[in-house]
Structure 1
Amino acid sequence: MTSSPFTIPLWCHGNRLSANNICQCLEMPDGGLTVGCSGLRLTQVPLGLSNLTVRLFLDKNLLRSLPTDSFSDLFMLDELDLSHNQLSSLEAGCFRGLVSSLRFLDLSSNRLSALDPAALGGLRAHANLTHNPWHCDCRMQLSMPRLDLDPSSLTEVICQTSDLPNLGAVGMPLVLLVEDWDLCLSVRRTTDVVMLVTMFLWFSMVISYLVYYVRQNQQDARRHMEYLMSLQTRQA
């Protein structure tokens, strides 16, 4: 293997980054490239990455989110390291184009709290999801069956916060938590309560209308009877 520095055009908010921010490129025997952009304080995925890139290291940067089609040109990408960034959101389609090639995805040590199937886009990679502030709730429970990640990846989704904090959920893997508890139960209970309150209010309105209708008819009937009696009195 031969190693040589490989400069990639890097842009941040429309300004050219310093020439000191250089991604190192390692050419592999099969012609693929290993590109290392670690620790460059990047705030976005660099433009101009070669479509021959097989391994891409973007760890230890300042990435906060991944826009749609962030890696769509890297159809040979096998390994992607995004660990030790500040990722808190993954936009839908951010991994588009990687479904057939990506086998390893490192998202550890970020700020992710939810797994969105639309963001993962059907990835079947083995993912490192450790050291993220995952929030285990009904949405996460419903998302799990739609995730195509390697099943062993999901054992690393540890609940840092949960909708069941008083039941020992914090610190548990999500896959174990959903086996013992229904995280959507509180949502369903809330929905049931709302439905009951709505039905009660509806019935109250119906009953109030019936009472008003009966009383109004009684008053009309009384006035009619009084009128008839007054007619009889006049005739007498």
Structure 2
Amino acid sequence: MGVLQRCGTTIKRYYCGSLFGTLLTVFFIPVHACPKICHCTERNGMIVQCTSRNLDNIPNNLPKDTVVLLLSSNQIRDISIDAFTDLHRLRELDLSHNSLQSVETGAFQGVSDSLRTVDLSNNQLSSLPKDTFTKLHARVRLSHNPWHCDCLLQEVLRELRLDPETVNEVICHTSVQEEYIGQSVIQVLDSGINFCNFHHKTTDVAMFVAMFCWFFMVTAYIVYYIKHNQEDARRHMEYLKSLPSTSHISKDYDTASSVF
């Protein structure tokens, strides 16, 4: 009633107009807008359904109270660092059956505390940045991707909780050691194999080969240098021998003097 009474006076008309405009905005204009291409449902937070919508990027106008984001069966190729920055309530993320090839470092940084499940299965991922899942407590699905088994992948897996139902479906499509191609990454690692040791061994071998090549080149240069100097010395000696001797020149000079 106090507001209505104040609105009855001429002096407060401008104030009342602004006040009612604000109230109308709060009560009648939706706070969270759903992307037009998606379908949203309110259930203690927004469930955003964007499955099979022919998307090639993650929508950037998602409701801030999104708790479930379903983006499977699209053509999304990458996850940028700011894809989920404002979605602090996000609990479930499904990006399966896309064309994912890269995930930027820190892509899950803004939702690391809230996320509980992340599905990246059935994509085109072969590698991930080392700190992709740092501080992430969610269960992650990585099955059915063309993984390259090396030290980097081993370090990435060390930072996350793989979904136990699909853990053996994370397969080495390529590997630093060909014998592990086609095998489960986790089973290989559980057997005691350390891909990082292969990396160090490869580096050591490369350094040894480089040092051997350097030593060979230095040795070859020294041998060439000695042979070249010997050849120059031999030619110089032959040149000196070909010159007329001093005694021969003196005799010729004496003979010429006696004639005159």
Output the TM-score relative to the length of structure 1.
0.71
CA shift for structure 1 position 117: 2.8
1:181 to 188, 193, 204: 193
| Aligned residues of 2:127 and 2:148 also touching (Cα < 8 A) | yes
Instruction: Determine helix, strand or coil for the equivalent of 1:175.
Output: helix
Paired with 2:241 and 2:219, the residues of 1 have a C-alpha distance of 33
Equivalent residues in 2 for 1:211-222 (5 A)? 211-218=223-230
CA spacing shift, 1:115–1:43, aligned 2, 3 Å: same
Paired with 2:123 and 2:183, the residues of 1 have a C-alpha distance of 17
Q: How many residues align?
A: 215
CA spacing shift, 1:216–1:135, aligned 2, 3 Å: closer
Amino acid corresponding to residue 157 of structure 2 in structure 1: M
Pairing 1:91–2:104 present? yes
User: Which deviates the most, 216-225 or 154-163?
Assistant: 216-225
Paired with 1:229 and 1:46, the residues of 2 have a C-alpha distance of 92
| Aligned residues of 1:128 and 1:156 also touching (Cα < 8 A) | no
Instruction: Determine helix, strand or coil for the equivalent of 2:195.
Output: coil
Paired with 1:175 and 1:135, the residues of 2 have a C-alpha distance of 13
Instruction: Determine helix, strand or coil for the equivalent of 1:141.
Output: helix
Name the residue aligned to 1:69.
82
Amino acid corresponding to residue 142 of structure 2 in structure 1: L
Higher RCO structure, 1 or 2 (CA under 8 Å, sep 6+): 1
CA spacing shift, 1:159–1:106, aligned 2, 3 Å: same
User: Which deviates the most, 209-218 or 98-107?
Assistant: 209-218
Paired with 2:122 and 2:57, the residues of 1 have a C-alpha distance of 17
Name the residue aligned to 1:206.
218
Name the residue aligned to 2:34.
8
Pairing 1:119–2:132 present? yes
Q: Deviations over 1:169-206 (max 9, x none)?
A: 4132x122123334355555544443333223322232
Name the residue aligned to 2:64.
51
CA spacing shift, 1:222–1:44, aligned 2, 3 Å: closer
Instruction: Determine helix, strand or coil for the equivalent of 1:55.
Output: strand
CA shift for structure 1 position 223: 7.3
Paired with 1:41 and 1:230, the residues of 2 have a C-alpha distance of 91
CA shift for structure 1 position 57: 1.8
1:161 to 163, 173, 176: 173
* Identical positions, percent: 39
Paired with 2:106 and 2:180, the residues of 1 have a C-alpha distance of 34
Output the TM-score relative to the length of structure 2.
0.66
Give RMSD over aligned pairs.
3.4
CA spacing shift, 1:162–1:234, aligned 2, 3 Å: same
Q: Deviations over 1:67-93 (max 9, x none)?
A: 221010101112212223222221223
Paired with 2:94 and 2:110, the residues of 1 have a C-alpha distance of 16
| Aligned residues of 1:72 and 1:98 also touching (Cα < 8 A) | yes
CA shift for structure 1 position 46: 1.7
Higher helix content, 1 or 2: 2
CA shift for structure 1 position 25: 1.9
Amino acid corresponding to residue 72 of structure 1 in structure 2: T
Instruction: Determine helix, strand or coil for the equivalent of 1:204.
Output: helix
Unaligned runs of 5+ in 1: 1-5, 11-20
Instruction: Determine helix, strand or coil for the equivalent of 1:105.
Output: strand
